[in-house]
Chains A and B, each alone.
Chain A
Amino acid sequence: MSTSTSAPAGSRPKPPSERARRYAGFQRRGWIIVVGAIVVVSAVRIVTGTDDITSANTLRATILSACPILLAGLGGLWSERAGVVNIGLEGQMLLGTWGAAYFTYWYGPWVGLLGAAAMGLIGGLLHAIATVTFGVDHIVSGVAINIIGLGATQFLAEAYFSDLQYGGPRQLTGLEGLPFATVPGLSDGLNNLNGQHWFLVSDVAGFLAAFTTRVSVLTIIVAVLVAVTAWLLWRTSFGLRLRSCGESPAAAESLGVNVYRYKYVAVLVSGALAGLGGAFLALVASNGFTTNQAGGRGYIGLAAMISGNWRPMGTVGASVLFGYTDALRLRTPAAVHALLLLVAIGLLALAAYRAYRGARVAAVVLGLLGIGFLLWFLLTDTVPREFTGMTPYVVTLLVLSLASQRLRMPAADGQVYRKGSAG
C-alpha cells in the first residue's frame, strides 16, 4: 500500500533511460545470484562431504531429466501464450513416446523424432478443434485428451509392438539411438578437474563437463528450440500477434489478426513439442518405449511453465530445478540429505531478502520453513528418497501461493473466444 501511494503521479512519461538502467540492474542482480548460488552449493558440498551434488554425472543426469519436462513446458508456453490452457500435454507426450518408438524402429531415429512430433501434433489438433473451433472448456478437453492419449498408446503398443523383436505388448527396446556429441579436448580435462573436488573450481568444471561430454543431439535441439521460441514469441510480429490472442483476443481481432489461426498454430506447436518430449523419454533418457512412460511429466512441464511465470527462461530454470531433484533422487539418497541444507540456506536467504523488501509475512513464512529444513538436516541422517520426488509439486504450490502477485499469466488464458466477439 505505502509503496503505491508514494509513487509519483503517472502523468509524466518515464524517460527511456530508466528502463535501461533497471534492466542493467536486473542483469547485475542475476549475476550476483548465480555466483552466490555456486559458492553456496560448493560450500555445502565441502561441509557435508557429498561430492555427488555437483558431480558431472549428476549434472548430466539432470540434463536428461530436465529436457522432457522443458519440452512439455515449452509446449505449454506456446499454447497458453495464445490463450489456450493445454493440460492435454501429458496425453500428447504419451502419443509422442509411441510415435518415437514406432518410427525409429522402422525408419531410424531422425524419422522417429518427426514421428513423435507428428503424434503429439495430432493430440494438439484434437485439442485445437475442441477448444478453438467448438469452444469447449479447455480443462475438459485436456482431460479427455489425456484419457485418449493413455488409451491410444496402450492399444497401439499392443497392436504394433507385440510381435517385434525386443518388443512386447507394453514395451519396445533395442531402438537405434541418436548420436552424441563430445567436445574432444575439453571434456576429459573438465571431468578430471571435477574429480579433484576442489572448492568452486571442481563445481564449475562439473557443470561445464556435463555440457561437453556425450551430449545428445536432441539436447542440443532442445536448446535451439528454447532460443527459437523466445525469439519467435517475443521478437517477431508473428509472436506479438500470437501473444495478443492470449492477452486480448477481441482487441487482436479488431486489428485484423486471425485469432483462430494463431490459436491453432500455437496449440499444434504445443502438441508437437510435447510429442518431442515423449521422444526424448523413449530415445535419449531411456533405451526404449514403455507404456505410460510420461508418468506425469506433462503435468510437471505445465508446473515448470507456471513456476517460470509463463516465460521461456523461467521455464528453463524451473525445469532444471525439477530435473536436478529427480536426478539426485535416482542417484544417491545421501546427496538428498545434503540438499536439505541447501534448501534451508536458500529459504533463509530468500526470507532475508523479502524482509529487506518489507514483505513481513512472506519473510516470516519463508524463515520458519528455512529453520524447519535446517533442523531436519541437523536432526536426521537420511531422507526418504520418495520425498524428493515431491519437490516439483511442492515447489509449484509454494511458488504459486507465496509469489502469486509476481506471477502474471496471459490475461485471456483459458477463456473461450468466439470469432466475431470483437463486434
Chain B
Amino acid sequence: MTFVRRAGFGLLAPVIAVVIAMLATSIVIVASGSDSGVGDFWRIILAKPPNRILVNIVNQTTMIYLAAVAAAVGFRMNLFNIGVEGQYLLASYVAATFAGAGLLPGPVNVVGGLVIAVVVGAAWAGIAGVLRVTRGVSEVIGTIMLNSIAGILVGYLLDRYGIHGGNQVRTHTLSQGSQVPGWTPFTAADGAVWALDLLAVAVGIGFWVLLNRTRFGFDLRATGMSQSAAVASGINVKRMVLVAMLLSGGVAGLIWMPAFYGSAYTYGTTFQAGLGFTGIAVALLGRNQPVGMIFGAVLFAFLTAQSNSLTLQTDISASVVLITQGVAVLAVVVAYELVRRYRTRLEQRAVAQVSPDPTREGVAA
C-alpha cells in the first residue's frame, strides 16, 4: 500500500469522528431549545481566539499532552492505566508540599520537585503494576481503586498539614527563587506561556524515541499487537507490565508541574483536576501516536478554552463541549475499528487476486 493511501486511512477515522462529534453537538444544542442557535455556537467556537485565550490554549495543550503520553505508554501494550488522574493528583500534592517547604535553594528546588513528582507518580502506578504482576489483579480495577484512594488521601493530608485560610486550604507557597514563570508573548495581562511547557516537548520526543528507536519500544509495541507472539519471541511480559506502569505513572506525575511552577505556586484551589481523564481521551483520539496526540491535545484545549466565551455571549452552557469531546472519543474508536476492518478486507482481496486459485480458499477462510 502506498504511503499516501496509508496516510489517508490514518486520517479517515479522526476526520469522521470530528464530523460526527460536531453533528452530535449541533443536535444536542437544537434539541435543548436554546435561544441562540447552532450558528451562534459554531461562530463563537471557531472564532479567532483573543491573545489571552491563545496563551491559555498553549498551556492547556501541554498539560493535556503530558497526560495523553502518560496514558499512551500503557495503551500501546494494551495496559490500561485508568489511574493517571490519581497519580498526578498525589504527585502534584507531594511535589508542591516538598517544593513549598523550600528545603533546596532556587533552581535546584525545581529539579527536586520534578523528581519527587515523577517518583510519586511512578510509585502510585507501581502499586497497581505490582498487584497485576504478582497477584493477577486487573490493572483497570487496581488503578480505579487507587484513584479514589489518592483523592481521599490528598484531601486528608491537605486538611491536616495545609495552611487554612478562610474556607480554603493550600500548601506553603513556592519561594520566589524557585518560580519558573515563562515567556510573555503579548502583554503581561494576557499571561505567560509557562517555561516548563517544554517538559511536554521533551516527553513527546522522548516517547517517540522510546517507541521507534529502542528495544523497549519495540517490545512494547509487539506486546500490544500480540501478547502470545511477544512471549514466544522471548519478551518478559511481566517485566514489561511493571516498567510500562512505572513509566506511565512517572509521566503522569509531571502533568500539573508546568502550572505549579509557572503560575499556581501552591497546591490548593488552584489545582486543575480532571486532566487525567482528558489525557486518556486524547490518547485514544490520537491513537497513542506521539504526533497524533498533539492534534488531539490542541483540539481539546481549543474547545475548552473557547467554550468559556459561550457563557458570556449565549445561553448555551459551556459544558456542551464535554459532550463534543466524549462523542469524539467514542466515534473515533468506532471509526478506527471500521477502517481497520475495511483495510483488512481490501488486503484480503488484494492477496486473493494475486495468488493462484488453490490458496484462494485458504485466504477466504
Chain B neighbourhood of A151, CB < 8 A: 319-323, 325-326
| Contact between chains at B135 and A401 (CB < 8 Å) | yes
Contact mask for chain A residues 139-177; partner B; CB cutoff 8 A; 1 contact, 0 none = 111011111111110111011100000000100000000
Q: Are A130 and B330 in contact (CB under 8 A)?
A: yes
**In the bound complex, how far is the Cα of B20 from the Cα of A129, in angstroms?**
15
Instruction: Say yes or no: is B234 at the interface (Cβ < 8 Å to chain A).
Output: no
A387 to B157, CA, bound (A): 11
B317 at the interface (CB under 8 A from A): yes
**How far does the Cβ of B85 sit from chain A's closest Cβ, in whole Å?**
11
Question: Which residues on B sit within 8 Å (CB–CB) of A394?
Answer: 145, 149
Distance between Cα atoms of A140 and B325 in the complex (Å): 14
> Taking A148-B323, A155-B317, A155-B323 as contacts, is the C-beta distance between A393 and B135 under 8 angstroms?
no
Question: Is the C-beta of B195 less than 8 angstroms from some C-beta in chain A?
Answer: no
What CA separation (Å) do A160 and B319 show in the bound complex? 13
Q: Is A35 an interface residue (CB 8 A)?
A: no
| CB–CB A400/B135 < 8 A | yes
C-alpha gap A139/B138 in the complex (Å): 12
Contact of B82 among A126, A137, A139, A144 (CB under 8 A): A139
* Residue in A closest to B277 when the chains form the complex, CB atoms: A147
B115 CB contacts on chain A under 8 angstroms: none
B172 nearest CB across to chain A (Å): 21
Produce 1/0 per residue, A253-271, CB < 8 A to B: 0000000000000000000
Query: C-beta contact mask, B197-210 vs A, less than 8 Å → 1, else 0?
Result: 00000000000000
Which among A135, A393, A396 has the highest number of chain B CB atoms within 10 Å? Answer: A393
A404 proximal to B (CB < 8 A): yes
**Contact between A389 and B28 (Cβ–Cβ < 8 Å)?**
no
- A:379-422 near B, CB below 8 Å: 384, 386-387, 389-390, 392-394, 396-397, 400-402, 404
Contact pick for B145, options A87, A139, A396, CB 8 Å: A396
- B337 lies within 8 A of chain A by Cβ: yes
Within the complex, the shortest CB–CB distance from A159 to chain B, in Å, comes to 4
Q: Does A377 reach chain B (CB closer than 8 Å)?
A: no
- Of the candidate stretches A44-52, A188-196, A299-307, A312-320, the one touching chain B is A299-307
Q: Please give the distance in Å from A162's CB to the nearest CB on chain B.
A: 9
* A141 close to B80 (CB less than 8 A): no
Q: Does B67 contact A (CB under 8 A)?
A: no
Q: Is B137 an interface residue (CB 8 A)?
A: yes
Task: Give A339-372 as 1s and 0s: 1 = Cβ < 8 Å from B's Cβ atoms.
Answer: 0000000000000000000000000000000000
Are B281's CB and A143's CB within 8 A?
yes
* Chain A residue at minimal CB-CB distance from B340: A135
Tell yes or no: A296 within 8 A of B by CB: yes
User: Chain B residues near A152 (CB, 8 Å)?
Assistant: 28, 322-323, 326
Chain B residue at minimal CB-CB distance from A395: B145
- Give the residues in chain A near B22, CB-CB below 8 Å: none
| Contact call A386/B323, Cβ cutoff below 8 A | no
Cβ of A38 < 8 Å from any Cβ of B? no
Bound-state CA distance A169–B311 (Å) is: 12
> A136: CB under 8 A from chain B?
yes
Interface size class of A (residues with CB under 8 A): 35 or more
B210-245 to A contact mask, C-beta < 8 Å, 1/0: 000000000000000000000000000000000000
Residue B12 is within 8 A (CB to CB) of chain A in the complex: no
Is A238's CB within 8 Å of the partner chain B?
no
A106 within 8 A of B: no
A315 to B106, CA, bound (A): 53
The answer to whether A154 and B140 touch across the interface, beta carbons within 8 angstroms, is: no
Alpha-carbon distance A85/B140, docked complex (angstroms): 11
Instruction: Give chain B nearest CB distance to A118 CB in angstroms.
Output: 15
Q: Does A134 contact B (CB under 8 A)?
A: yes
**Alpha-carbon gap, A279 to B123, bound state (A):** 38
- Which residues of chain B have C-beta atoms less than 8 A from A144's C-beta? 281, 284, 326, 329-330, 333
- Residues of B contacting A303 in the complex (Cβ-Cβ under 8 angstroms): 141, 144-145
Whether A400 lies near B32 (C-beta < 8 A) is no
User: Do residues B131 and A155 form an inter-chain contact, with CB atoms below 8 A?
Assistant: no
Residues of B with C-beta under 8 A to A389: 152
Does B156 lie at the interface of the complex (its beta carbon under 8 Å from any beta carbon of A)? yes
Residues of B within 8 A of A148 (CB): 322-323, 326-327, 330
A296 touches B148 (CB 8 A): yes
Chain A hits for B317, CB < 8 A: 154-155, 158-159, 169
CB <8 Å contact, B145 and A397: yes
Which residues of B are found within 8 Å of A296, using beta-carbon distances? 148
- Residue in contact with A87 in the complex, picked from B144, B156, B321, CB distance below 8 Å: B144
Query: Does B142 sit within 8 A of A, measured CB to CB?
Result: yes
Contact (Cβ within 8 A) B333 A141: yes
- Distance in angstroms from A163 CB to nearest chain B CB is 10
Most buried by B among A130, A134, A143, A392: A143
State the CA gap A306–B33 with chains docked (Å): 42
Partner of A154, one of B149, B284, B319: B319
Q: Are B284 and A386 in contact, with the CB atoms below 8 A?
A: no
- B34 touches A (CB below 8 Å): yes
Q: B334 touches which one: A130, A154, A397 (CB < 8 A)?
A: A130
CB–CB B131/A401 < 8 A: yes
Q: Which of A169, A393, A401 contacts B149 (CB 8 A)?
A: A393
Enumerate chain A residues within 8 angstroms of B155, measured Cβ to Cβ: 386
In the bound complex, residues from chain A placing their C-beta under 8 Å from that of B322 are 147-148, 150-152, 154-155
Closest-CB distance, B299 to chain A (whole angstroms): 14
Residues of A within 8 A of B333 (CB): 130, 136-137, 140-141, 144
Which residues on the A side are within 8 Å of B33 (C-beta)? 159
Of the candidates B80, B137, B320, the one whose C-beta lies within 8 Å of that of A397 is B137
- If A141-B333, A147-B281, A386-B156 touch, whether A393 touches B319 (CB-CB below 8 Å) is no
Contact in complex: B34, A159 (CB < 8 Å)? yes
* A272 smallest CB distance to B (angstroms): 19
Whether A136 pairs with B337 at a CB distance below 8 angstroms is yes
Interface of chain B residues 90 through 111 with chain A (CB within 8 A): none
Chain B residues whose C-beta falls within 8 Å of the C-beta of A158 in the assembled complex: 317, 319
* Cβ contacts A to B, 13 pairs, < 8 Å: A144-B281, A144-B284, A146-B277, A148-B323, A151-B322, A152-B323, A154-B317, A154-B322, A155-B317, A159-B317, A397-B131, A400-B135, A400-B137
In the A-B complex, the 3 residue pairs with the smallest Cβ-Cβ separation, listed nearest first, are: A151-B322, A148-B326, A158-B317
Given contacts A136-B337, A154-B317, 5 further A-B contacts (CB under 8 A): A152-B322, A159-B32, A306-B141, A386-B155, A390-B153
